[in-house]
């Protein structure tokens, strides 16, 4: 007989509109719903999971926005917020998953989710590394850093690489991948504490606190007197503009995130955008969901690095589903140090 339990949820209360900053009021914690811990008879290819760790990411802002052409629309007011996470399979009618499996992929901000997985759920092959790593390092953020650096940025040994939001989930890994390739790597972050992590823990050659720099152009010239080969952009705005002014000939800008711009209606103007022509600069955006076929190759490689200690990783953990809204909102204020995640349950 199937058990019925309370299923705490974080619902989207209303869309985050263009120009609006995300607030906790966009979401709502509901503790009155229940769920039967069994895939319904009629669902021939579904899994029922217990959510363990949920990822908080800037792209959640797009997920919680009113649908528009070109964006990946996933959310609906009144329903739980969709997001990536790590979960344990409770019941399954899907041939690739069985009860007891650990999985990561697209789930929802709630204690239990009924998922109809397409290409958005991966079985976790390694349980001898912390499972929470699959919300970031070994999940979408890790794959983003891997694809964005190796596939999109066309890196070469010895090149000079600049990473913004460098202590974040993606940035810390991009910097380490670049160091592994023999690049010179500089990161920017928003506090001295983060800057210290970049240099002491992640092995960046240099790092600076952008909030203490009155002139970003001057800061970049200090660290890159001969210019930047690759700018891995997680923030956009004034930093992107300053970087454009400091790119070398044939420099590449990998546009991974634009967190400084997501709450604006119009992306800020860029004084240096015209330099893309004389400097033959390439700006390349990418969506990691187009590269999911590379996941297993990536997982093999990075699990090995983690076990060897070659790659370091920093998490910023919040306890309890009820902490999810504030954790998400805090991303846009730079509150997290390292990969932000929420523990719903540990087993």
**Interacting stretch for its own copies, rule CB under 8 A, among 31-39, 80-88, 132-140, 265-273?**
265-273
Residue span 99-128 as binding mask against its own copies, x where in contact by CB under 8 A, dash where not:
------------------------------
201 binds its own copies per the rule CB under 8 A: no
Q: How many residues touch its own copies (CB under 8 A)? A: 38
Q: Between 273 and 332, whose beta carbon lies closer to its own copies?
A: 273
| Rounded Cα distance, 26 and 324, in Å | 12
284 binds its own copies per the rule CB under 8 A: yes
228 binds its own copies per the rule CB under 8 A: no
DSSP per position, 178-227: HHHTT-EEEEEESSHHHHHHHHHTS--SEEEEGGG-S-HHHHHHHH-TT-
**Residue 102 Cα distances to 219, 313, 345, angstroms:** 45, 21, 13
Q: What are the phi and psi torsion angles at 312 (to 5°)? A: -100, 155
DSSP per position, 215-229: -HHHHHHHH-TT-EE
* Binding-site member from 191, 268, 292, 335 for its own copies (CB under 8 A): 268
Residues contacting 203, CB < 8 A, separation 6+: 175, 176, 179, 312
163 closest CA partner among 178, 141, 150, 152: 178
- Angle, CA 37 vertex, CA 32 and CA 41 arms, to 5°: 120
* Binding-site member from 32, 157, 277, 309 for its own copies (CB under 8 A): 277
Compute the least distance from the CB of residue 65 to its own copies, in Å: 11
Q: Between 2 and 249, whose beta carbon lies closer to its own copies?
A: 249
Compute the least distance from the CB of residue 11 to its own copies, in Å: 24
202 closest CA partner among 302, 308, 301, 309: 309
Residue span 56-95 as binding mask against its own copies, x where in contact by CB under 8 A, dash where not:
------x------xxxx-----------------------
Contact 231, 245 (CB under 8 A): no
Compute the least distance from the CB of residue 18 to its own copies, in Å: 9
| Rounded Cα distance, 7 and 43, in Å | 20
**Interacting stretch for its own copies, rule CB under 8 A, among 40-48, 117-125, 204-212, 284-292?**
284-292
Contact 204, 177 (CB under 8 A): no
DSSP H/E element including 29: strand 27-30
287 binds its own copies per the rule CB under 8 A: yes
Residue span 235-264 as binding mask against its own copies, x where in contact by CB under 8 A, dash where not:
-x--------x---x-----xxxx--xx--
310 binds its own copies per the rule CB under 8 A: no
Q: Which residues bind its own copies (CB under 8 A)?
A: 62, 69-72, 236, 245, 249, 255-258, 261-262, 265-287, 290
């Amino acid at each position: 007989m199937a058990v019925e339990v309370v299923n705490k949820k974080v619902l989207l209360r209303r869309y985050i509109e263009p120009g609006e900053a995300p607030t906790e009021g966009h979401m709502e914690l509901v503790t009155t719903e229940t769920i039967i811990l069994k895939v319904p008879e009629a669902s021939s290819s579904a899994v029922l999971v217990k959510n363990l760790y949920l990822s908080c990411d800037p792209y959640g802002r797009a997920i919680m926005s009113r649908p528009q052409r070109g964006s990946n629309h996933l959310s609906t007011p009144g329903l739980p917020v969709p997001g990536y996470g790590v979960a344990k399979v409770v019941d399954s009618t899907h041939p690739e998953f069985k009860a007891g499996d650990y999985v990561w992929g697209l789930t929802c901000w709630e204690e239990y989710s009924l998922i109809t997985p397409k290409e958005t759920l991966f079985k976790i092959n390694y349980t001898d590394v912390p499972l929470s790593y699959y919300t970031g390092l070994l999940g979408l953020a890790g794959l983003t850093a891997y694809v964005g650096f190796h596939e999109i940025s066309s890196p070469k040994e010895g090149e000079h690489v600049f990473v913004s939001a460098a202590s974040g989930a993606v940035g810390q890994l991009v910097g380490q991948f670049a160091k592994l390739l023999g690049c010179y790597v500089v990161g920017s972050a928003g506090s001295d504490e983060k800057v210290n992590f970049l240099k002491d823990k992640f092995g960046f050659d240099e790092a600076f606190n952008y909030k203490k720099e009155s002139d970003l152009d001057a800061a970049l010239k200090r660290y890159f007197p001969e210019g930047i080969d690759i700018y891995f952009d997680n923030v956009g705005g004034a930093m992107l503009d300053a970087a454009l002014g400091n790119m070398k000939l044939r420099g590449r800008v990998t546009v991974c995130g634009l967190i400084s711009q997501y709450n604006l209606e119009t992306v800020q103007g860029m004084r240096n955008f015209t330099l893309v022509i004389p400097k033959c600069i390439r700006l390349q955006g990418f969506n990691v969901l187009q590269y999911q076929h590379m996941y297993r190759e990536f997982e093999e490689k990075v699990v090995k690095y983690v076990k060897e200690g070659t790659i370091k990783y920093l998490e910023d953990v919040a306890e309890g589903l009820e902490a999810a809204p504030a954790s998400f909102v805090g991303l846009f204020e730079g509150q997290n140090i390292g990969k932000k995640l929420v523990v719903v349950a540990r087993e």
